[in-house]
Amino acid sequence: MNILLMTNTYKPMVGGLEKSVISFAKEYREAGHRVIIVAPELPDMEPEEDVIRIPAFQHYNGSNFSVQLPIQGTLTKALGDFIPHIVHSQHPFLIGDTALRIASKYNVPLVFTHHSLYEENVHYMPGNIEALKRFMIELSTGYANLADQVFAPSESVMLMMKERGVTTNINVVPTGIYTDQFARGAGKAFRKKLNIPADAFVVGHVGRLAPEKNLEFVTRAVAQFLKKEPKAHFLIGGTGPSEEPIKEIMAQEGVIDRLHLAGMLKGKDLVDAYHAMDTFVFASQSETQGLVITEAMAAGIPVVAVDAPGVREVVKDGVNGRLLKNESIEDFVDALVWLKKLPVSQIKIIKKACKATAGNFLMKDCAQRALKIYVSLTTNQGFSRRNSEEGFWSKAVHSIQAQWGTAKNLSHATEAYISSTPVHV
């Protein structure tokens, strides 16, 4: 099977979505399928076989994201004799529109993974925030209804999409992890490298340091915990615009001397960082899965998190960590105190539960689930949106339908934005 994966973000960026594309591509290739990844040009990228890079404007509105140029004709030429059987889009906009047109050109199924709650990322865009949120909801919902199959990374995201009006068939296909990679790590050595005491209780977080990750709330809660617990330290892996606000909060609370910023973490350093932690904290409301939560659990690290889509499927309150129903600093601090005061025997039980949870998200199993759906679509068991007739006229009609569908989707989303924007006279 020839599989075309199309994404707005890719290496050298490091995040859950990038890991998802890389991991699924690896599994598909090992299963004997040909995979080509289409991604934007990025600074410091390295040449990679079967990866097509397309021109893009970098650092959109001060973010780490790029904006691709619309180049369907150039992409078709770059694909050469590669005829996709499946086009899998990772985004509902930018390169997502190109994915729709490519699927139409080759008359093959379009799969869309709803990776993120896009409305929670509108702070990168100029304009009225609430109107932009409505715009993004309409845009992602409309795009899902233009696809032939939608993947939801979690059950709660599938239910949310249905409530928003997605009528396309949805299957839950999370991004898996390689649990054996996280099973062992040099936590003590990592602590020593960052001057973290061996007997410290380490609260940790890993990820992109950005406003949509709700890190200011997490930092305020952890700072209060550190003030209660003089031997506690805060370890953060990642980079991003929220780094300075994190430092400012810790300084204001007088605990910046126990903040350890490890920078971007990959490979062994990432694994070692997890093993240097006693608990992992998470409060993002923009995730659809929260891959880092599963990685932490694969390392046997309990998680304290605020309830959110994709989080509640992983964190079980009192079993493998604490799941808090409300975003309350007091509750978050209490959960950390509860975890710290547990006897060693109880901690061992929780760590075992963490690893068992991670075992439910094996990458190979998730890839096999996706491939089974691909096969169903390509054998017409689940692909009925496009006419299977051949010929120039049929292909032209498909192309027009795709262009019109995209235009209608953008128009509908724009109408939602305009109707939500206050008019000033």
| pLDDT tens column, 17-69 | 999 999 999 999 999 999 999 998 888 888 899 999 988 654 444 444 444 55
Among 68-82, 120-134, 238-252, the least confident range:
120-134
Please choose, from the candidates 374, 5, 369, the residue with its C-alpha nearest in 3D space to the C-alpha of residue 175. 369
CA-wise closest residue to 146 among 188, 179, 100, 115: 100
Q: Which amino acid is at 313?
A: E
Share of the chain above pLDDT 90, in %: 69
Residue 72 confidence (pLDDT): 56
Which residues are registered as beta bridge partners of 37?
Answer: 5, 51
Name the strands in the sheet holding 321-324, side by side, starting at the edge strand that comes first in the sequence.
Answer: 259-261, 232-237, 201-206, 279-282, 303-306, 321-324
Q: Of 221, 202, 182, 190, nearest to 259 (Cα)?
A: 202
pLDDT above 50 (res 151) = yes
**pLDDT, position 109:** 96
First and final CA of the chain: distance in angstroms?
Answer: 58
What pLDDT sits at residue 239? Answer: 94
pLDDT greater than 50 at residue 163: yes
Residue 403 has pLDDT above 90, yes or no: no
**What is the tens place of the pLDDT at every residue in 90-135?**
999 888 989 999 999 999 999 999 998 765 554 445 556 687 888 8
Element (H, E) at 111: strand 110-113
Average pLDDT over residues 340-361: 97
What mean pLDDT is reported for the chain? 87
- The predicted structure's pLDDT at residue 14: 78
Domains belonging to the chain, first-starting first, are: 2-176+363-420 (3.40.50.2000), 179-361 (3.40.50.2000)
Most confident of 133-147, 206-220, 345-359: 345-359
DSSP for 186-254?
-HHHHHHHTT--TT-EEEEEES---GGGTHHHHHHHHHHHHHH-TTEEEEEE--STTHHHHHHHHHHTT
Say if residues 138 and 159 touch (Cβ distance below 8 Å).
Answer: no
Model confidence at 399, pLDDT cuts 50, 70, 90, reads: very low
Is pLDDT larger for residue 196 or for residue 387?
Answer: 196
Cβ within 8 Å of residue 124, ≥6 positions away:
60, 61, 62, 63, 65
Q: What is the pLDDT of residues 273-291, one digit of tens each?
A: 999 999 999 999 888 888 9
> CB-based contacts of 335: which residues, under 8 Å, 6+ apart?
304, 322, 324
Spatial separation of the C-alpha atoms in residues 288 and 301, rounded to whole Å: 21
Instruction: Give the pairing of strands 2-6 and 34-40.
Output: parallel
Give all strands of the β-sheet with 110-113 in edge-to-edge order: 51-54, 34-40, 2-6, 86-89, 110-113, 149-152, 170-172
Choose between 68 and 240: higher pLDDT. 240
Local confidence band at 423 (pLDDT 50, 70, 90 cut-offs): very low
Non-local (6+) Cβ contacts of 362 within 8 A are: 176, 177, 178, 179
Instruction: Output the pLDDT for position 388.
Output: 39
